[in-house]
Structure 1
Amino acid sequence: MTEINRETTIITKVHGFDPHPETDPTVTDMSKIVGACSYDVQHENGDTETLVTGLRPGENFGWSLKVIEAAQVWRNAGGSIPEWTPPTPDELRAAMPTLTARQFRLGLLQSGRSLAQVETAIAAIANPVEQETAQVEWEYATEFSRMHPLVVSLSVTLGFTPEEVDTLWQSSLQL
């Protein structure tokens, strides 16, 4: 986590605001907004970086108050806060934690699919480069993300619905 020296660090630009479900985008007082503010800072040594600070009324202290002041200037200059929209199923899937290869394989077994079925599915890939790529991924990857192309491809070939893979994923995290 970046150490912020409030005395010497300057907020140079506010990029925008990601709302929270509780956000009212019509509120103009940034101290009453819930969400995350993205902004650039310049440190005393001249280094610059982009930071994000979560804001919630009644829980903003220290550095957050400086962010609220900068966000208020941004808001007064026409910055708009979008309405919160719930994430799509694919966005939720992309945010799922990775599984180790062990967890993924055990999850497949517990869902009634065998490792031989996976090998057969990979062998059935028509394109030789894609087939070899899938084989390398299956044999050597140490972890898998929910939206990895091999996971998506195997789930279809092995007869899973996306929701079934989500369930497999969640239960496999405990293995």
Structure 2
Amino acid sequence: MQQDFNTHTPTITNVIGFEASTETDHTEMNMAKIVGAVAYDVIWPNGHTETLYTGLRPGDNFGWTIKVIEAVQAWRNAGGVIPEWVPPTPEELREKMPSLTARQFRLGLLQSGRSLSQVETAIAAIADPTEREKAQVEWEYAAEFNRMHPLVVSLSVTLGFTPEDVDTLWQSSLQL
């Protein structure tokens, strides 16, 4: 049995904003020609509300996307601003890097010419006893490592890595 589209779909109540894509012309006024992602609030027929996100790309304008484009067009006509795309900073990219398993991280360090004993020496050299013990626990027991974790950042400096060197180590270690 086919369900009625209008009784089982939400109503868009508010357009929160738009995140531009590298392909976005932020001066374009026709939302059917814009590339990016829109955040918006909806209310479902049962009264439940939530925030949804939809990617927009010219040519993908069908079904629910048409309703989203219409809502964003109304928002834009009312003064909503499509931001110019700004590339992420290196720090923003580092924050989004996937975690490495402890195995990947250690093998990556070895491939980069650093030994595990150098890491142990660097941890042993931490002056504050509490911070040293925390670092030792992280090094020995962490199941995974995040690129911007304080231990990773401090060890990278101590072991002579530049931030770009760590980025390279991180990317190559993902394959291990």
Bin for the TM-score computed over the shorter chain: over 0.9
Aligned match of 2:66: 65
Distance 1:135 1:44 in 2: 54
Give the superposition deviation at 1:6.
Answer: 5.2
Equivalent positions of 1:1-150 (< 5 A) are 7=6, 8-150=9-151
Distance 2:44 2:118 in 1: 55
- Who wins on radius of gyration, i.e. which is larger? 2
| Secondary structure of residue in 2 paired with 1:131 | helix
Aligned match of 2:166: 165
TM-score (norm 1): 0.93
| Secondary structure of residue in 2 paired with 1:136 | helix
CA contact (8 A) 1:11 1:41 kept: yes
Q: 1:6/1:69 Cα in 2 relative to 1: closer, same or farther (>3 Å)?
A: farther
CA contact (8 A) 1:6 1:63 kept: no
- Paired amino acid for 2:153: V
TM-score (norm 2): 0.92
Unaligned runs of 5+ in 1: none
Alpha-carbon RMSD: 1.3
| Secondary structure of residue in 1 paired with 2:68 | helix
- Paired amino acid for 1:51: L
Give the superposition deviation at 1:80.
Answer: 0.2
| Secondary structure of residue in 1 paired with 2:41 | strand
Q: 1:143/1:75 Cα in 2 relative to 1: closer, same or farther (>3 Å)?
A: same
